[in-house]
């Protein structure tokens, strides 16, 4: 299927690895000039991006900076993918509500919600001019909060609602806004033993490799396997394209059948 997006431009946040990198690679393969933003720029991102920028998107200044750099690098923004999220494993306590401090709440919301708010606000004039599209990467944790760090599901739920609000306002002006909510994905978030998956394994008292083997059962994934980053990227690319011209304000779950109710 020809998505018809060759020659367009895109800003992808959290693009150095995992889902974000897969999105950058997929869009670049479709002929899109990608500006990739990440705190740490990887060689894999540099290989496919028209520009790769090291930036802290948990700050308002970082969001403004990346949009300025994107506009300078590619001349305008057709597509915005707000993918950056999660957070540093060492800063994410898996303790209960009473044992989690305000700093965790603030850090999670800054990275998982406000980064999208700030980046979208800065990029929107260009996106409106080009009648482009926005995709926010949320999570099924927004619907099933148990098992995620305190604050994460809440921030993702707010991000999903943010997409709904934007769509209502921007659809009449020619800009489409949609949300993609993955379940467990074979990204470094889970596969890196020093990442979130390693922290979960330690909390459960099991080995990291054992945890990875058990993920389909623990999350009741109907397909029997986690989702691949490239599968999420394909969905994002479709939603950005005019092939999805009538899809507005939708939350697209891609979780291998983890959620059992609509």
The catalytic residues are: 152
End-to-end alpha-carbon separation of the chain, Å? 28
Contact 116, 164 (CB under 8 A): no
Structure token pair of residue 180: 């993609």
User: Can you tell me whether residue 36 is helix, strand or coil?
Assistant: strand
Token digits for 12? 């992808």
Give the number of other CB atoms < 10 A from CB of residue 112.
27
Beta strands in the chain (DSSP E): 9-13, 33-38, 51-54, 79-82, 133-137, 176-182, 251-254
């Amino acid at each position: 299927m020809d998505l018809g997006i060759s020659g367009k431009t895109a800003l992808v946040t959290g693009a150095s690895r995992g889902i974000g990198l897969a999105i950058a690679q997929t869009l670049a393969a479709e002929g899109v000039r990608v500006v990739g933003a990440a705190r740490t720029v990887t060689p894999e991102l540099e290989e496919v991006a028209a520009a790769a920028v090291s930036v802290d998107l948990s700050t308002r200044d970082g969001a403004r900076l990346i949009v300025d750099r994107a506009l300078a690098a590619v001349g305008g923004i057709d597509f915005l993918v707000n993918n950056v999220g999660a957070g540093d494993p060492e800063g994410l306590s898996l303790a209960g509500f009473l044992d989690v401090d305000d700093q965790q709440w603030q850090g999670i919301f800054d990275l998982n919600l406000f980064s999208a708010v700030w980046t979208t606000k800065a990029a929107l004039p260009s996106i409106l001019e080009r009648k482009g599209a926005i995709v926010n990467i949320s999570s099924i944790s927004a619907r099933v909060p148990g098992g995620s760090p305190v604050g994460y599901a809440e921030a993702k739920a707010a991000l999903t609602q943010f997409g709904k609000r934007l769509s209502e306002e921007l659809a009449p002006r020619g800009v489409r806004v949609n949300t993609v909510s993955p379940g467990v994905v074979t990204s470094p978030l889970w596969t890196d033993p020093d990442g979130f998956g390693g922290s979960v394994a330690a909390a459960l008292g099991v080995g990291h490799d054992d945890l990875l083997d058990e993920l389909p059962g623990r999350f009741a994934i109907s397909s029997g396997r986690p989702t691949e980053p490239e599968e999420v990227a394909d969905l994002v690319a479709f939603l950005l394209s005019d092939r999805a011209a009538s899809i507005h304000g939708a939350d697209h779950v891609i979780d291998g059948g983890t959620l059992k109710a609509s």
